Amino acid sequence: MTPGIRPLVAGNWKMNGTSASLGELRGIAEGFAQGLGEVADGLVCVPATLLARAAEVTTGTPLNVGGEDCHPKESGAHTGDISAEMLKDAGATHVIVGHSERRTDHGESNATVHAKAEAVWRAGLVAIICIGETQAQRESGSTLDVLAQQIAGSVPADANAGNAVIAYEPVWAIGTGLTPTVDDVAQAHAYIRARLGDKLGAVAGRMRILYGGSVKPSNAVELLSVENVDGALVGGASLKAADFLGIARAYRSL
């Protein structure tokens, strides 16, 4: 937590979900409408195929919906790609860029992620810019250097508290049930805030830095209470309303 920063509990459905999953989304929206929205902002990023219907389901509730990736361009001959403007048109308020699965599966560089963040802003949406070290990088002691490089390369210099959210997701913690120690999370988040400060100035003190990687209801209080952790980016546990709401509920006791 950071004094003065309203937390954000965000879900990332990845390549999961069909129309049958909209009931879970409705459950999440109801949970935020029935009180959780008072303690945290809620967002679920869904596959593009579901976005328009997800936006309908959540209309009139505090829950926002977002996209998981976008193309840097607004339109054109890019078969199979989707622009930030299209995501906005379908109802997105946020777009994840630079998720480690995109960096790995699609070879996305920091420069690509930077261009995608700019595309998100061109469309008037909020970019959730993901960074995080691999297992090998952690074992070789280069975690903080990797984070510094990713911030330098992926985060545009016009990022601010209104248009960008940073998500720290250690790659080895994603989908594995493993999480860094509270001390490691605190160190990484403080370091990220400091590097953002070098780059962006005072605005960095108001930016949200989310933690992602195996966040569950059972570890949410511990992880979300860490200094400079301003919310979570949740994968697997965002697919079930009970689990996602269980994580958000941590803010009732923090």
Ligand X SMILES: O=C(CO)COP(=O)(O)O
E strands, the chain, where? Answer: 8-12, 41-45, 63-67, 94-97, 126-131, 164-168, 208-212, 231-234
The single residue among 41, 69, 169, 243 that binds ligand X, judged by CB under 6 A, is: 169
CA separation for the pair 22, 50 (Å, rounded): 8
Which letter does DSSP use for residue 174 in this model? T
Binding-site size, ligand X (CB under 6 A): 14
Q: Which of 210, 181, 207, 211 is nearest to 194 (CA)?
A: 207
* Residues in region 187-246 near ligand X by CB under 6 A: 212-215, 233-237
- Residue 248 CB, nearest approach to ligand X (Å): 14
The answer for residues whose C-beta is within 8 angstroms of residue 58's C-beta and 6 or more apart is 25, 26, 29, 44, 64, 65
| Of 17 and 235, CB closest to ligand X | 235
Between the CA of residue 199 and those of 1, 129, 228, what are the distances in Å?
22, 15, 17
CA separation for the pair 233, 215 (Å, rounded): 8
CA separation for the pair 31, 37 (Å, rounded): 8
Residue 205 is assigned to a ligand binding site: no
| Of 63 and 210, CB closest to ligand X | 210
| Of 34 and 96, CB closest to ligand X | 96
Angle at 7 (CA atoms; ends 105, 153), nearest 5 degrees: 40
- Residue 39 CB, nearest approach to ligand X (Å): 20
187: burial class by Cβ within 10 Å (0-12, 13-18, 19+)? middle
Residue 172 is assigned to a ligand binding site: no
Residues classed as catalytic: 99, 169
Residue 12 is assigned to a ligand binding site: yes
Residue 175 is assigned to a ligand binding site: yes
Which residue has its beta carbon closest to ligand X? 235
Would you say 25 and 56 are in contact if contact means Cβ atoms under 8 Å apart? no
156 near ligand X, rule: CB under 6 A: no
* Residues in region 66-105 near ligand X by CB under 6 A: 99
Residue 214 is assigned to a ligand binding site: yes
- Residue 84 CB, nearest approach to ligand X (Å): 18
Residue 16 is assigned to a ligand binding site: no
- Residue 125 CB, nearest approach to ligand X (Å): 17
174 near ligand X, rule: CB under 6 A: yes
Site stretch for ligand X (CB under 6 A), options 83-91, 138-146, 168-176, 181-189: 168-176
Residues flagged as binding site for substrate = 12-14, 175, 214, 235-236
Residues of the shown chain interacting with ligand X in the complex, contacts defined by CB under 6 A = 12, 99, 169, 174-175, 212-215, 233-237
